[in-house]
Amino acid sequence: MTPRPTPADLAAARDRTVEDLLPDPLRLLVVGINPGLWTGATGAHFAHPGNRFYPALAAAGITPTRIDPSAGYAPGDLETLRRIGLGITNLARRTTARADELSREELREGAGRLVGTVLEHRPAAVAVAGVTAYRTAFSARAARTGRQDAWPEVARGIAGDLGERERAALEATPLFVVPNPSGLNAHETVDSLAVAYRAAADAAGMRHF
């Protein structure tokens, strides 16, 4: 069994980038804020042992079993995520210890990159995990969690620069803002996260396990 990262491993993981998970076909694209040190050290998204992302996926019936990526993905874990069509990317690419180490500009650049990813890979639905980061990235101060009525003006402007077909494809993609699964988010539980994630998965046409 691969051991969990040591403090030295975590320190060395700062400012790394982590490859997106973009299966084909892509049903639900989950968008984190940025990779944490555990993710940088292991290469597995949402890898910190206190993060509730994978417990919430299992509780929502999105994955058939609970994944534990704290020492890195097992081969079967990635196979499961790809088979169900769950993709993972981030607004900001660089690894930090805390999300508040990111600049406003990094998050806003991430909005443009997300639009490009959506137009290239055409997920059935998108879920951005973290309302505060979403508000900053998309200049959408009044945004709340849940399904959004439309993509924000910033995103529509980016797609508009690409043409009518791209604009229509973006607008046809359901957009959700879901709670951040970090253990630091005391307002949420695994069960409440599962409800929010299941709503996005249902919009993406994902099966229940």
Alpha carbons within 13 angstroms on the beta-carbon side of residue 147 total: 14
46: confidence class by pLDDT, cuts 50, 70, 90: very high
Domain assignments of the chain as residue spans, ordered by start: 7-203
Contact criterion met (CB below 8 Å) for 138 and 126: no
What pairing do the DSSP bridges indicate for beta strands 125-129 and 28-32?
parallel
* Mean pLDDT, rounded, for 86-95: 96
CA distance 101 to 114: 20
Tell me if the bond preceding 25 is cis, omega within 30° of 0.
yes
In whole angstroms, give the CA distance from residue 193 to residue 167: 30
Task: Label residue 184 by pLDDT band (50, 70, 90).
Answer: confident
Q: Which helix (H) or strand (E) holds 176?
A: strand 175-178
Q: Is 185 helix (H, G, I), strand (E, B) or coil?
A: coil
Q: What is the pLDDT of residue 132?
A: 95
Average pLDDT in the 15-44 region? 96
CA 181, CA 52: separation in Å to the nearest integer? Answer: 5
7-203: CATH class: alpha beta
Over the stretch 153-181, which tens digit does the pLDDT of each residue have?
888 888 777 788 888 889 999 999 999 99
Q: In the block, which residue shows the tokens 């879901």?
A: 178
The per-residue pLDDT for 125 is 98
Residue 75 binned pLDDT confidence (cut-offs 50, 70, 90): confident
Nearest to 103 by CA among 113, 118, 91, 112: 91
Q: Beta strand 86-90 with 175-178: parallel, antiparallel or unpaired?
A: unpaired
